[in-house]
Amino acid sequence: MASRHPWKAGGDGVEYQYERVSINIPNTDSRRAPWEDESIEPALAPKTFDSDRLDNGLDGIPVEYAGSVLSRGWYEARQWVVDKYYDKNFKFMLILLLLVIAFGTANRVIYKIQLYSRPSLLVGWPLAGTPSSPQMNNYTIFISWVLTTAYCFLYFGIFSVRRYGLFIIDDDQVGYVFSWRGLKLIVMGLMDATGFVFGIFAARQINGFLLTLLPQAIIPMTMVVSLIALRTRYHWGQVLGAATLVSGLLVSLIPTFQKQGSGDTSALTAVWAGVYLLSLLPNAISFILREMVFTELPKMDIFVVNSFDSFWQLIFSVLMFPLVLVPGFSSVSFHEIGDYIPNGASCLVGFTPTPQDDCSGEPWLMMMYVCVNLSWNISLLLLLKKGGAVFTFIGSAVSLPLSHFAFAINWPIIGSGTVSWEDGLGLGLVFVGLIIYRYYAVVQRKKLDDETRQKLLDPSWQPPASCWRRLCCRNRDQFDD
């Protein structure tokens, strides 16, 4: 009696002796059964089973699991878990996934604590409330310089190792940066600086719940920019997912608009929520430019782009220094402009330079945020490399509701928030919209890849003349069978 066991053996064929049957397994694939590994304790090897329990017609599935689709699915899922138990790469991906979720949640909370704003920042502005003490809010743009500088050191450090130590980055990639096509990186730096600076100004004035949900609006914004600039085709399911996401954002903003006429400081939230949404538009443009760079040079290393993007972002962030004189963005007056950088540095290390400032908690708050933010980005890149886009999406999606409800906890400085039914419903719609969009994005990509494969296999087909629109013009060799 010959029947295939669920575990497939390699080699020229392995014979397993069970209690009442001898099973010879042909060479089917390169995987080895767990009990073939000498490093595994014999006690951990799966127990043998009686030949009467084997079912010839179901690829070795025991009879008690062969009765229904549900039981067969449970058996296969259990076998998959056992298989992954011995997969070291899967364990590493699982650890990275947990790190992305943990760091992503902590990043949003610490970001809000670091930028916590009180109404005194808006003294002199028509919509200002009752003055009180700010939390390093006069130096918001100084904070953006510190964060961008930290990213410059990180990315250029990794760039140097990959360029001069591992020789992964070649001359073509570096030459791209210093060619006329490298102007895209300069524009990317400008867009990222604009979005980051205006976003960090607006983030001080909105509550933690909105700070969790509003960034998701970058998905429909990116779709619109990509449709206009690249003529990108979207699946109807992606449009449905984006529409569901937008409806969730609108629902979450209902309490803000209800309080707009109440006269308290929460009336400012609607204005600053609009500023925050507008700050996402430059980020969407930067994302499209990044996609164009990787289309023109598919082998471009991500750290080449990130390094020079962060460099130009720092340059343009410094050039945006006059924004501190704009009413509503800072309470710094013109005659105090010369002391801005020294006072910001003093506040950063924990010394309060003026009576209008409150630098309590520094430098530990800033150091904590920089460490958590960098750890989150590094773990995100590693997860993207090891686990792919699916695992990365799962990590980002799971951290969304965790971050949302984390703001209901009583944190130092910012206190606790109250989760309303609008917040819960808005979060649910945003989460469902993300899942729908992601699912149909995979469907659409597979469809476009199939169409592109047919075109590239046709010798009479020529790519479009405009290189920045030819997203489908990948290397023909990757479609060769």
Is position 114 within any domain? yes
DSSP for 289-305, written as a single string: HHHHHHHHSTT--HHHH
- 253 found inside a domain: yes
For residue range 421-433, what is the model confidence (pLDDT) as tens digits? 777 888 888 888 8
Of 17 and 337, the one with more pLDDT: 337
Q: Is the dihedral of CA 255, 257, 263, 265 positive or negative?
A: positive
Query: Does pLDDT of 68 surpass 60?
Result: no
Q: What is the pLDDT of residue 52?
A: 40
pLDDT in tens, 44-53: 444 444 444 4
Per the confidence metrics, is the pTM higher than 0.75? no
Please tell me the total count of domains within the chain: 1
Show the DSSP H helices in 40-87 as ranges: 69-85
Question: In this structure, is residue 441 part of a structural domain?
Answer: yes
CA dist., res. 399 & res. 393, Å (int): 10
Residues 142-196 have pLDDT tens digits of 878 888 898 899 899 999 999 998 888 889 899 999 999 889 999 999 999 999 8
For 314-365, write each residue's pLDDT tens digit: 999 999 888 877 776 766 667 777 777 787 788 777 777 777 666 776 777 7
Of 471 and 285, more confident: 285
Length of the chain: 481
In a domain? residue 256: yes
pLDDT band at 266 (very low <50, low <70, confident <90, very high): low
Domain residues for 226?
106-119+134-476
Sign of the torsion angle spanned by Cα atoms 35, 36, 41, 42: positive
Residue 53 domain-assigned (yes or no) = no
Section 14-38 average pLDDT: 46
In which residue are the tokens 């899942």 written?
435
The answer to whether residues 366 and 143 touch, using CB atoms and an 8 Å cutoff, is yes
